[in-house]
Chains A and B, each alone.
Chain A
Amino acid sequence: MAEILAVSVAGLVKTYSARSAPARSGSRRAGRQGLAPGPAASACGDQARPPSPGGRVRAVDNLSLSVPVGSVTALLGPNGAGKTTTVEICEGFRRADEGEVRVLGRDPIADAIALRPRVGVMLQAGGMYPGARAEEMLRLVAAHHRDPLDPTALLDRLDLVDSASTPFRRLSGGQQQRLSLAMAVVGRPELVFLDEPTAGLDVAGRRTTWELIEELRAAGVTVVLTTHAMDEAERLSDQVVIINHGRVVAAGSPAELTRGGAEGQLRFRAPVGLELGKLLLALPDGTTATEGPAGHYLVEGTVDPQLLAAVTAWCAGNGVLAEDLRVEQRTLEDVFVELTGSELRP
């Protein structure tokens, strides 16, 4: 049976009482270092939304999304947006209050036994015996699957060979993340949920992780990941779903979301006090030009090759050397700020 959608979520609602609300990200970091382990290991932050007068926090609020088979979908949003809650409902860890969830055409809780071999899971943190060595932990999960990847090759692929016999609690944060990723894919799943796969990774670790995700996609595996890194969402995903306050505020490919780049900006540096009125005469109607701070110029309008040529031609004609000339397009970040009025936190 060939499903077109790997995951479909319609009208999802999940409310926590203030008491049972998942812990915040701060304790989750502490938990990773073993300082304050707690049931918090799973959690999504709630600081973005104070409890309502009834003491209840609506973590996911009428959220719908669809993930096509074989695609990479990024759930993008700030801490506390409801990303982890959404993913954990899809993984069968939490029960939705309202709405319908289908994972590979099945119900994540009622059909859990059938789904578990087919779905790989990377938790945001934890999930390992603290005393188990990296290779032991990976071999344990491999032994739960019928036709797993070779654990040694997978450790090698994720630059973990030198840490294979290091106990989990002594792995660095980045090594723990990559081991967790290895555990998610070792069973050769059809669908993987990766909750913040690159949080806390250094540049090399991020690249290794990104490459593996791209290979997963090429091999036909559906990937759903959460992130608050714009570049990650932009680079990896076929589809970006921007979530804020438990709702989907926009969804589409990175190109679709950043389209409208025709309304762009052109910036350059030049000597102070250019006669911008004369520059504007050389430019199409509807274009504006401003200086500020001194020597930094901003031209706004329809940025196309003709505009660029007109600006540089005017500069050449007036003996002005324009430095640092650059065309700025909307980034995903701009889209996010426009849609939500808030900055993503790093």
Chain B
Amino acid sequence: MTTRTAPSAPLLDLRPAPGAASRGRMFAAQTRLELTLTLRRGESVLLTLIIPIGLLAFFTAVDVLPSGSETSVDFLVPGVLALAVMSTAFTGQAIATGFERSYGVLKRLGATPLPRAVLLAGKTAAVLAVEILQLVLLVAVGFALGWDPDGGPATVPSVLALLVLGTAAFSGLGLLMAGTLRAEATLAAANGVYLLLLLIGGVVFPLSKLPGWLRVIAEGLPTAALSDGLRNVLAEGSGPGVRPLVVLAVWAVAGLGLAARTFRWE
């Protein structure tokens, strides 16, 4: 604590004492600030928490969806989990990173001892922390609405593998966009893609409702791959399936690889 005794400011020892902090300390500070800022932004809370929970509650309650053999909540929870991952790892991250780049934050941090790898690790950790919050809330709301997943605890590894792979795929796309486009263009494109993938990503209605040609395209996109994979595990009680894993892995490798090559820090 500093005590302010007189109008004169406290003495500062300005003599040089340079040195980098430990990576652990930098990582913790970076993660904490990224997470704080994400949860402070109203639009990101709307995007990552309120919209997924609202969609889950709304479509469960009004039951306009063809449920087939499942109840609608059993169909909806996996899709909304996929939407939640997309909103955090892709949309939210793309918009925030795009503006950080345009405001010179990434450039400025590049002049501190913070390594870029630690900066990215901090961003990733903040994304994962938000996803854990989303997962807990959505699962709780799902159970409250009568969700009855198949498979029990044995499905946890498959679900986590899908979520991690999905996070990698969406992060790659988000960073690719944020690192190459202007911030305003990223804002528009990230929201547009979010809406598109919400509609054709198998989130609130099955891909079988789409016309054939659109279905083929949709099945190659990461949102449908993630929601189908999660639905295979949680609603069908089977494995995640080959197609979802391959599609997500291809997007992850391509997105992260391209982002790493093209990202402009300022």
A residues adjacent to B (C-beta < 8 A): 31, 37-39, 41-42, 91-93, 113, 116-119, 121, 123, 125-132, 136, 139-141, 143-147, 149-150, 152-154, 156-157, 183, 185, 187-190, 215-216, 218-221
Contacts and interface: CB of A to CB of B under 8 A. Distances in A.
Given A144-B26, A145-B20, A127 B104 contact: yes
Contact of B105 (A129, A136, A157, A215): A129
Contact of B14 (A140, A145, A221): A221
B103 A147 contact: no
A136 B29 CA distance: 10
Nearest to B101: A39
Contact of A219 (B15, B18, B110, B111): B15
Interface of B is mostly: loop
Contacts of B151: none
Interface of B: 1-2, 4, 9-10, 12-21, 25-26, 28-30, 33, 36-37, 40-41, 99-105, 107-108, 110-115, 182-183, 264, 266
A116 B112 contact: yes
B114 to A, nearest CB: 5
A153 B115 CA distance: 27
A128 B108 contact: yes
Contact of A143 (B12, B29, B36): B29
B112 A141 contact: yes
B111 A136 contact: no
Contacts, number: 150
B105 to A, nearest CB: 5
A4 B103 CA distance: 36
Contacts of B29: 139-140, 143-144
A139 B112 CA distance: 13
A129 B40 CA distance: 12
A123 B114 contact: no
Given A38-B182, A118-B18, A216-B14, A93 B111 contact: yes
A185 B107 contact: no
Contact of A156 (B10, B105, B110): B10
Contacts of A215: 12, 14
A149 B20 contact: no
B17 A188 contact: yes
B103 A130 contact: yes
B37 A131 contact: yes
Contact of A129 (B1, B100, B107): B100
Contacts of A92: 111
Contacts of A183: 108
Given A127-B108, A128-B108, A188 B103 contact: no
